[in-house]
Structure 1
C-alpha cells in the first residue's frame, strides 16, 4: 500500500517553530524566599506575641507584688507601734523614724495616714463616726469595703489629682486601763503609680525589642538558608547557559539537595530522550540519503544511456527501466515519509477518542491485496473474528462488507483507523513478498480477555528466533532466502511497529505452524491492541 504523505503542519520542524513562537511562561511573582517568609513569619510573630504577652503579664504581676510589699512595710511597722496610753489616748510609737524610712526614697507623691475611731461600749463601729488623725495627711481615700482586722488590702485611688497606690490595714486596740474601751485604727500608706507605670512600660519595651530581634534574625536565617540551599541550582543554571547548544550531556547532580534530585533526574531523562531523538534523526537522514543515492545514481546512468542510444527499441527499453526505477524510488520516498510520521514524537502517544473496528480494517486489507496474491499464485485466506472463513474468491465479500457497515464494531479498539490499515497492509505485503508461488497466507482476527489480535500467517521461509527483533530495525532486509524479495528498502516492519506503538499496541513474531508445516515454519505476525472499553 502507498502511504499518504502527512500534512506539513504535523512535521517536527513546523511544530518546533510553533513552540518557539509561543511566549515563554512568565516567572512566578513570589519566589521561595518570599513564600517561606510569608509562611513562617506570621506564625512566628503570633507565637512571640503570645509568649511576650504572657511574660509581660508575669513580670507585671511580679512588679506589682514587689511594689505592694515595699508599700506594706511602713504600714506594718506603724501597726506594731500602736498603743493606748495610761490616759486612754491612742498613740504611735516612734512615728518619725518610720516616716523618715518611708520617705527616704526619692519618689514623689508619698503619703502616710493613721486615723483612729472610737468604738462605743458594747456596740459596733460606725463608719461615719468622726476620725482623729494621729499622724500623716488626712483625707486619703478609704477602701471601698471595710477589711477584716489585721488583713492588709491594696487598691488604686486618686489623691490630690494624682493616681496613687494605697496599702491599708485596719486593727482594733483595747484600753487595758479602762475596760470596755476600744478603738479602730486605720493605717494607710500611699505612693504615686508613676514608678510602677514606668517599670511596666520598660518591661514591655524590652519584650518588644527582643521579639523584633528574633523576627529579624529568623527572616535573615531563612533568606540566607534558601540562598545557600539554591546555590547548587544556580550552579546548574550557569553551567546550562555556558554549555554549547549541541551539548546534550546529563546535568551534574552532585551537591544538589535530595529534594531537588528527582527534578534533576527528570531533566536528565528528558535530555537523554532528546539525545536519542537527535541521534535517530541524524541516523535516519544518513540512511535516507544513502538509500536514495543508489536509485538516483542508477537513474542518472540509465538516463545517460538513453540519451546516447540511437536505436528506438533500445531507447524504449532504457526508458522503461527508468520508469521501473522511478516507481521503486517513489515507493522508497513514500516509505521514508511514512516512517518519519510513524516514529514522530512519543511512540506510546494516545490515539485519541476515535474507535476503529479491527475486524473491518483487516477484511479491507485482505480485499485490497487479493489481486496481488492472485498475481503471485498465492492463496490469501481470511478468518473473521466471528468465526466466518473466507477464501481468495472476492465474490460476495463486498456484499457482506456492505451488510455489516451499519452494525456495531466487532472488535472495537481506541486507535486511528488509517494507521491500523497501514500496519496490516505492511504485514500482508511482507507476507506476499516472502511467500513463494503457490503458498498460503491467512489473516485471522480474534480476541482474548483484554486484547484484540490480528494474525498474518504465511508459509514462507520464516525468520529465525534470534533475528526476529532485528528485522524491525530501519533498512534491515531479510536476505536469508536469497530471493528478490530482499531488494526492498527494509522499512515495512519498522513502519508497522511505529504505527502500532503510537496506538498503544505491539507487533509480535512467531512460527506460523501452518498445515503444511505442523512442526513449525513460516511466520506469524501478530498485531495486539487493547480492546476499547465500551
Structure 2
C-alpha cells in the first residue's frame, strides 16, 4: 500500500513571481501610459488648433476697403479652399461685422450683424478675448456635430470712419482629432500589452532556466536505485537552493548510515543467534539418541540454559534496537530521581548477586560518603531508607530507559566480578551533573579497549581474560539509552595504593553522567 501523496500547492514559483511583479508592472505601465496619453493628446490638440489659426489669420489679414468705402474680404474663396483642402468634413468659416456706437454723443447705428463670409449661425464665443490673446477657443455643437471653434475679434474702420467689430470664426469637427487620440491610445495599450507579455515570458523562461538543475536532480533521484544512496550533485544549482540540496544530502548521508548500521546489526544478530540454535539442535539430537533417562535430563537442562541465554540475547537485541532508533519519537521525558532508580536496580539484582556469592552494596546520595552495604546473605529492613517526596537527584529523562541503562551496568559488573567480589552502586552530584557509578573489584578493562567495548557485539572481556562472556550488548545498550536522554557513560579505574592509572587491574568504575534538572544545578 502506497503512502498518501502529500498535498501540493498549485501556487508555484512562476505564479508567485507573476503575482508579485505583474501588479507593480501594470500600475507603472498604466501611469506611464496615462501621462503619455495626456501629453500626446495635448500635442494633437495643439497641432489641430494651429492648423485652424491659419485661415483665421489669413481672413483677418485679407480685410480691406471696397471702392464705395465698405469693408470687404479679399480672396475669400482661396482661403476657404485652403481651409477645406485637408480633412474637409465638418469645417466652417465665418466673417461678420457688427457696427459699434458712433460719435461722442453716443449716437448709435443699427446693431444688426453683417455677414461677409461663411455661415452666420455658428455658435458665438462664450466670452470676449482676454489676457490670453485675441483668440478664443471653445467647444460647441453645430448641426448635431461636436465642433472645435476658434474666434478672433477685431475692430475695423470703413471708408466713412465708422467703426465695426469684426468676428472671424473657424470651426472644425472633432472627429479627426478624436480619432487621432484614439489611435494614439490604442498604440499605447498595444505597447503596454507587449511589455506585459514580455515580462511574463521572461519570468517564465527565467524560472524554467533556474529550476532546470532541480529537474535534473529530480530525474537522477528517480533513476537511482533504492540502495544507491549517493549525495546529490550540486553542480549548477542556484546558490539560493544550495542549502536545501545540502540538507537533502545530509539526510541521505544519515539515512545511508542508518541503513548500514541496521544491516550490520541484522548480520551480527543473525550470527549471534545462529550459534545457540546450532548448539540446541545438537543437544536435542543427542537427547533423542540417549537411552539413559538421567543423561536425557542433563541434556534437557543444558538446552534450558541455552534457551535462557538466547532469550536474554533477544531481549538485549530488542532493547538495543529501541535505544538506537532515532526515527521514532521517544517518550516525553520528565523529572526522574536518579537516586531512586539506581536503588530499585540494586534491589532487582540482589538475588543474582546472592547466587554468585557477591557483595552488592548501595550508597545513597543523601548518605555519601557513608556506605550502607547490602550483603549477599540478606537484606536488612533499614538498608534502603524510604524515598523522600522530593527527588534527591532529579534529572530530566525517561524513567524506564534510565533504569535499563543502570541495570545493564550492574548486570555487566555481576557477570565479570568473581565469586566473593564486591560491587557498589552509588549516586552523587558534581559540577551540575548527576552521577550514577557502579564499582566492582573484578579484573577491569584495559585502557586501550575501553572505547571498543561500547560497540555492538564487542564482549567486555576483562584483562584477566577469564570468566563468562555475554553477547557484548550490555554496554552498548547502556550508552545508547544514556545518550538518548542527554547523558553518557565512561569507564575508569578504581584507584588502589601503588597501582598506576589505567593498569586495568584495580577493578572498574562505570559512570553514568546526566545533567541535573533545572533548579538543582550549581
**Bucket of the pairwise TM-score, normalised by the shorter protein:** 0.7 to 0.9
Structure 1 residue 386 and structure 2 residue 371: aligned?
A: no
User: CA offset at residue 462 of structure 1?
Assistant: 3.3
Aligned partners of 2:469, 2:333: CA distance in 1, in Å? 39
Q: Distance in 1 between matches of 2:321 and 2:99?
A: 120
Structure-2 separation of matches of 1:253 and 1:292: 44
Deviation (angstroms), 1:353: 4.8
Matched, 1:267 2:252: no
Q: Secondary structure at the match of 1:355?
A: strand
State the alpha-carbon separation in 2 of the partners of residues 507 and 249 from structure 1.
34
Instruction: Give the superposition deviation at 1:192.
Output: 0.6
Determine which of 141, 147, 157 is the counterpart of 1:164.
147
| TM-score, normalised via structure 1 length | 0.85
Q: 1:409 — aligned with what?
A: 391
Indicate which of 494, 497, 509 corresponds to 1:524.
509
Deviation digits for residues 374-405 of structure 1 (CA, Å, limit 9, x no counterpart)? 4445443333333454422332457733x53x
Aligned pair partner of 2:338 in 333, 358, 376 = 358
**Is 2:460–2:469's contact at 8 Å kept on the other side of the alignment?**
no
* Residue number in structure 1 paired with 2:316: 335
- The correspondence for 2:122, drawn from 117, 126, 140, is 140
Query: Is structure 2 residue 259 aligned with structure 1 residue 278?
Result: yes
Say if 1:86 and 1:177, in contact at 8 Å, map to a contact too. no
SS at match of 1:103: helix
Larger CA deviation: 96-105 vs 486-495:
96-105
Q: TM-score normalised to the size of structure 2? A: 0.87
Matched, 1:71 2:56: no
Q: What residue in structure 1 maps to residue 197 of structure 2?
A: 216
Are positions 1:400 and 2:385 aligned together? yes
Report the Cα distance in structure 2 between the residues aligned to 1:464 and 1:148, rounded to whole angstroms.
117
Higher RCO (C-alpha 8 Å, min separation 6):
1
Distance (Å, rounded) in 1 between the aligned partners of 2:106 and 2:180: 43
Partner of 1:421: helix, strand, or coil? helix
Given that 1:351 and 1:502 are in contact with CA atoms closer than 8 Å, whether structure 2 keeps it comes out as no
Closer/same/farther in 2, CA of residues 184 and 124 from structure 1, 3 Å limit: farther
2:288 matched to 1:307? yes
The equivalent of 1:12 in structure 2 is none
Aligned twin of 1:39? 20
Alpha carbons 2:98, 2:164 under 8 Å: kept: yes
Relative distance call for 1:110 and 1:367 in structure 2 (3 A) is same
Q: In structure 1, list runs of 5 or more residues that go unmatched.
A: 1-19
| Alignment of 1:471 onto 2:471 | no
Partners in 2 of 1:414 and 1:458 — Cα distance? 27
Match of 2:85 among 104, 107, 113: 104
Distance (Å, rounded) in 2 between the aligned partners of 1:124 and 1:424: 132
Alignment check: 8 A CA contact 2:324 2:480 kept: yes
**Contact 1:168-1:188 at 8 Å conserved across structures:** yes
Of the structure 1 ranges 520-529 and 323-332, higher mean CA displacement relative to structure 2 is found in 520-529
Partner of 1:490: 472
* Alpha-carbon contact 1:116-1:185 (below 8 Å) kept: yes
Cα distance, 1:507 vs structure 2: 2.0
Deviations 1:428-455 (A, max 9, x none): 2222333345544333323356543322
1:331 offset after TM fit, Å?
A: 1.3
Unaligned runs of 5+ in 2: none
Distance 1:472 1:175, change over 3 A: same
Q: Which residue of 2 aligns with 1:207?
A: 188
Contact 1:356 1:413 in 2 (8 A): yes
- Aligned counterpart, 1:504: 486
